[in-house]
Structure 1
Amino acid sequence: MASPAYLATMPLHAITEVYGEDGLRQRFALEVARFPVPDRERLEEALELAARLHRDDRRVREPYLNHLLRVAIRIMSHYGVDDVDVIVAALLHDAVEDHPDELGGDTEAALAELAKLFNRRIADLVRSVTNPAYDPDRDRHEQYRTHVAESLDRDPWARVIKVSDFTDNGVGVIHTTGPKVHSSATKYRPLVPVFRELVARADTPLSAPAKAHIMDQLDLAESRFAAILDGPQTGEA
């Protein structure tokens, strides 16, 4: 494993490629070391709950937990956010959507369990970034984009979680393989202007440098989506 000082300078996907989950866990530990002990314990509790819930989940080439770690680390390291509730919710942002049964049953029961384990604010943040049940008669991607726009419009702190999630999926699309590359670009590309507008709002609780960093990441994601969707297709001259 790299030294802590070196690990702290590495891009998150580079840590993933070189050191995997162990490296991301170490980077997470470096980020949370500055927190008071009670807050650090709560963050570690959330990480272990996320690890248990997603223990059998994978994202193409990696354990799903890697994605959750990157989303949380990005919020602390790149966005400068020390709000423990937001970081806990980032670690658990897919827990209710993917594993409601293990948290007590349906969506509402799972959210109630998170409120019991942590607090109501964390449960409400997770609610804001949890996709509702899809209507099979409507386009799935369009429903997803509508949900994102509407839920983040009313919840500024949820924007912070979702934009980190979006960055991991969008900028990180080059680390994806197979059919998911094209489907991810198709799903996420129309959201770039939505996130630009949301991040730029005065009530989005991020510093000017953090917002500028996110805008750069959105530019990068957009360029990668364009390369995937607008570039020459296989078999073309």
Structure 2
Amino acid sequence: MEFPAYLATMPMHAITEIHGEPGLLARFRLEVEAFDEPARERLTAALDLAAELHREDRRVREPYLNHLLRVAIRMMHHYQVRDVDVIVAGLLHDAVEDHPAELAGPSAVRRLQLGAPGAAQGPGAVDPTPAALAELAARFGPRVARLVGAVTNPAYDPGRDRHVQYREHVAASLDREPWARVIKVSDFTDNGVGVIHTVGPKVARSAAKYRPLVPVFRDLIARPDTPLSLPVKRHIFAQLDLAEERFSAILDQPN
């Protein structure tokens, strides 16, 4: 499949609409050309694992892998991230949350179910998340596992509002992990600024979920220990402004 010579300059949602997953994969490969061979091998391995784990997942109108590709491409292109661990974690940021048992592997899950030493006991107590994070650490290193863990949502208290708990988790977890802020704000940009590319009832639900996080991300990105250049931070602030503008159009305007 051939792509235009200007693929590297196209907005990612334009690539998604016109060229789909193949176009995003081609754009990803263009971005990783800037890295040395060992880095490219790690990034390709992470992409392959993400594609395998999310092979049947979809986001409304598209394969879920598209979202993961946009998160990684945005970090490389717009945020100028050259830290391979961070990009690997971006590709795999939903792996533990969405597919912990598959990532951990059947033997690890079975050990938990049989009550191996140190495993949680009792009905419903088997949680493959630690084993999934351990598998990520074995494949890509403990730092990648730590970053993915920082952006993985915990089990929620069913007696409290899920969105409130989500926002509390984001604020607390990212307070401790500056590089995780970079991954999460790319994820937020895809979900928040990209909300207009969603259809149906999810548009308003997503806007209501993400809107209260705009000031949270503005504060986190502005912090001196957030490892991004000032021009990149300004770019992100502009994206947050755009997200708020779109949330307002969705939630504040009369039907």
Residue 80 (structure 2) aligns with: 80
Larger radius of gyration: 2
**CA deviation vs aligned residue, 1:44-65 (integer Å, no higher than 9, x gap):** 0000100000000000000000
Q: Could you list the runs of 4 or more consecutive aligned residues of structure 1 that deviate by over 4 angstroms after TM superposition?
A: none
Structure 1 Cα separation of the partners of residues 24 and 232 of structure 2? 21
Please, which moves more after superposition, 102-111 or 123-132?
Answer: 102-111
- State whether structure 2 residue 150 is matched by structure 1 residue 149: no
Residue 151 (structure 2) aligns with: 129
Structure 2, unmatched stretches of 5+, are 110-127
Residue 184 (structure 1) aligns with: 206
Please, which moves more after superposition, 101-110 or 11-20?
Answer: 101-110
- State the shift of 1:2 in Å: 2.4
- State the shift of 1:199 in Å: 0.3
Residue 62 (structure 1) aligns with: 62
Structure 1, unmatched stretches of 5+, are none
Structure 2 Cα separation of the partners of residues 172 and 135 of structure 1? 28
Residue of 212, 216, 228 corresponding to 1:194? 216
RMSD value, Cα: 0.6
Residue 204 (structure 1) aligns with: 226
Structure 1 Cα separation of the partners of residues 237 and 136 of structure 2? 32
Partner amino acid for 2:8? A
Q: TM-score, normalised by structure 2?
A: 0.90
Structure 2 Cα separation of the partners of residues 108 and 2 of structure 1? 41
- State the shift of 1:34 in Å: 1.2
Structure 1 vs Structure 2: percent identity of aligned residues? 75
Q: Secondary structure at the match of 1:209?
A: helix
Partner amino acid for 2:185? V
Q: Secondary structure at the match of 1:136?
A: coil
Partner amino acid for 2:159? D
Structure 1 Cα separation of the partners of residues 129 and 201 of structure 2? 29
Instruction: Give the number of equivalent residue pairs.
Output: 232
**CA deviation vs aligned residue, 1:206-236 (integer Å, no higher than 9, x gap):** 0001000000000000000000000112xxx
Q: TM-score, normalised by structure 1?
A: 0.97
Residue 2 (structure 1) aligns with: 3
Q: Secondary structure at the match of 1:130?
A: coil
